[in-house]
Every structure is written in structure tokens, then in C-alpha cells.
Amino acid sequence: MMILRNIVSLVGAGFTWRRTSTLAPLFSVAMAAGASLILMTLLFGLRRIAVGGVLSSLPITRLVVGPKQFDVLFFRIGSTAGSLNESLIDTLEDIPGVETILPEMILTMPTSLMGNLIGTSFSSDCATYGVPEEFFPENERPDEFKPLSPGEAVPVILSSQLVELYNTGFADAQNLPGLSSKALIGRHFQLFIGTSSFFPAPPGTKIKTVRCRIVGVSDLVSVTGVTVPESYVRQWHDWYYEGEKEPKYASFHLILQSSDVVSDVRKSVETLGLQSRNSGEIADKVALLTRYLSLATGILMMVFLLLAGLGTAQTLGLEVTYHSQKIGLYRALGASRRDITRVYILRALTIGIVGAFCGTLPAVVLLSSAETWMARIFPFIGRLPSSPFHVSPAILAIALILSTGASLVAGFGPARRASRVEPVMAFRQRET
């Protein structure tokens, strides 16, 4: 059996490798390596942005738990929105993975509001919710959202979707200007506790009028009403029912320890006869999109690698035909079938390694310069949480291994053919 050193020498000098038969597979392997590197870099870059930038900003670990409800034809079956008791807090606290519980209390008596916006009076029935300050993340929490001294207007947070409702459904129809959420901040309105247009208070029952001031808007609060600090709701509840009824809750917001426990906590909540929702649907959609992107990238890479492999296999196959007399001579002089196989495998490996480096090097340069000039054309690129053009060593290694591997695998067919060259048959085609 030939020793490796002799095989290497023979690959280098024992054959007269034609320029085209070297450059063609080198080029195709280089193309595959470069394309793989660029595709993988962009894919992983986009995934990093999607997962690290977008998904991490979503409140995936915030689970909203409410009464289970389902629709049967025209009817909604299940408990009403304000049917959750305080005792549930202890039960929910016992679920593994739950870090904090933020209750959303609701006033169960009728409430309504009346105000003035851009010279137009409005009144509406509404629900009244009470939440603790911690209900809002620190960066979204208005400073004024806290219990104030008697006589001061009660701070209120409205749903940001109400602004959308105004702009899309009301402003156009009434020829009023569109408003941003800032237009609402600081405005006052009156809240009536104990009466509404649907359930007017019978004579002799209690009614309280409260002056409120809008201090913020948020996506976290219910769109169907106004949200005030929890202590106000508790106070109004006790005043109305005089301690005869327990306060009720519309929902409990569970803050979970990590996104890993979401699915388990949701299952536990289900077993309590409750239902839950979070931003997981968005995460699922992003995950699905990245899966499709990965699949498309994978298919493209496979096509490039396949083309490189086919190019290498075809060129090496032609070389076997071209060198068959020489292969026959080497076999006659003592090279075994395995030696000839190793010569061609080493040749394919050399093409793979050189081609892979020749392809990845310009790709790295291209990606680095692309980052600079793309940021000039599209400034938002500079504000992304991470660069989609950053080449990681792992991706570089994968691109090198894949393209070298494609060339190596492509070399097996021609190597096998070369090893089957019969010296006597080969000599019949006179070469020398």
C-alpha cells in the first residue's frame, strides 16, 4: 500500500492535471462555499434580529388568565368576565413557574362616563378596572398612576386601542381631526359609579360621581373600560356593597419565570377551568416564518452544493477517462485499487479545501463591506439590535465543511471508476 506522502506527491506531480479540469470544479466549489456562507449569515442574522430583537420584546412570559368561555352558535357559554374570586390568587401562585400575579379587579355594579373631546360631548357605559402599579412594566408606567389624596382627580389609563377606535370609526364620520394618544393625556372626564344607560340606577340607590384624569394609554389594559389604581376600585366596591360582597376580578396577569414554562403553566391553568392567552401566537408566527426562511435557505444551499458536487464529479470523471492509460500504468507498477481511490479522493479533497477557502474569503469581504454601504442606504440597519451581516466563526466553519464535503463526496464516484481501470485494457489505448 502506498504511504500518504507518496500519494500526496503523486496527486501533486504524478498526473498532468489540466487547467480546465482544475479551475472548473474549484470555481463551482468556491461559488457554493461563498453562497452558503452568505445565505447562512443572512439567515442567522435575521433570526437573531427576529428572536433576539422582536421576540424578546414581546410579553411572552406574561399570561392573561380569565374565565373559560366558548361560543355555541349565537351564544357565549361560560363564566362572565367578572366571575373570578380572590381565592384563585393562592391557587395560581402554587403553579410552578409563576413568579408574580397581577390581578385586574373589576367593579361589578354599573358604571358609565361622560366627557368632552375637541368640543364634542360624549358619554358611554363602561367597565371599571383596578390594577396595582406593578401591572405596567416600569418603562411604560406613568408616574401619576398611584392613589392620590382625596379631592384630586383619579388617575386613569385607557386602552391604546380606544385611540384607534376613535380615529378609524369616529373621527372620519364626524369630520373630526385624527388624534394621537398624547392628545388624551391630561384630559378630564366624569365617572358615574352605580348607574349606566343600560342599567339606570333605581331611585334611592347609591350613585357616586368621580372626577378622573387620563394619565396614560397602554396595550395591557382592557379596551372595554377605564383602568384606575386598585385601591380606588376596592374602596368603591366596599362603599357600594358595604362589605357584603367579595371583590371580583376580570383577569389575572401571570408573570412567568421564563418562556420555557409558558406551555406547562398554560396547561395547569386549563386544568383549573380557566383560559389563558399571551403573545405566543406572534412568537409562533415569527418562529414559523424563520422555519420557512431556514427551509428556503437550506434548499438554496443544497442546490449550490449539489451543483458544485455535480461539477466536481463530472470534471473528475472526465479526468479518469483522460488519464486512464496513466492509471493503468500506475496499477501495473504496483498501485492497488485502494491506492488509486485514495489518489482521486485526495484530489477531490484538495479541490474542496482550496475551493472552499477561495469562495468564503471574498464572501466574508463582501458581507463586511455590505454592512457599511447598506447602512448608508438603509439607515435603519444601523439601529437593528444586531447586524445581519456578521459572519460568525461557526457559520464560516460550516460553510467550509459543507463545500469541502460536497467536493469530497463528489470525488467518490470518479475515484471508484479510476480504481476499476484495468491496466491491460488501458494499455490498448496507446499513450506513450
Footprint of another protein on this chain (CB under 8 A)? 1-3, 5-6, 9-10, 13-14, 16, 325-326, 329-339, 423-424, 427, 430-432
Q: CA angle at residue 214 from 209 to 216, to 5 degrees?
A: 145
Q: How many CA atoms lie within 13 A of 323 on its CB side?
A: 26
With respect to another protein, which residue has the nearer C-beta, 3 or 173? 3
For residues 415 and 432, give the distance between their C-alpha atoms in angstroms, rounded to a whole number: 23
> CA 208: distance to chain centroid?
47
Please name every residue paired with 267 in a beta bridge, in sequence order, or none if there are none: none
With respect to another protein, which residue has the nearer C-beta, 288 or 332? 332
Name the minimum Å distance from CB 21 to another protein. 15
Do residues 210 and 148 touch, judged by C-beta distance below 8 A? no
With respect to another protein, which residue has the nearer C-beta, 85 or 321? 321
**340, exposed or middle or buried, with CB in 10 Å at 0-12, 13-18, 19+?**
buried
Name the minimum Å distance from CB 334 to another protein. 3
Name the minimum Å distance from CB 348 to another protein. 19
Name the minimum Å distance from CB 342 to another protein. 12
Coil, strand or helix: which one is 217? strand
With respect to another protein, which residue has the nearer C-beta, 4 or 306? 4
- Return all residues near 424 (Cβ < 8 A) that are at least 6 apart: 328
With respect to another protein, which residue has the nearer C-beta, 306 or 332? 332
Name the minimum Å distance from CB 285 to another protein. 60
Please say whether the dihedral angle defined by the alpha carbons of residues 293, 295, 298 and 300, taken in this order, is positive or negative.
negative
Name the minimum Å distance from CB 5 to another protein. 5
* Radius of gyration over every alpha carbon of the chain, rounded to an integer in angstroms: 36
With respect to another protein, which residue has the nearer C-beta, 107 or 335? 335
With respect to another protein, which residue has the nearer C-beta, 68 or 337? 337
Measured CA distances, 275 to 61, 69, 96, 247 (Å): 15, 8, 17, 20
Name the minimum Å distance from CB 322 to another protein. 13
Nearest to 227 by CA among 106, 64, 356: 106
For residues 124 and 112, give the distance between their C-alpha atoms in angstroms, rounded to a whole number: 6
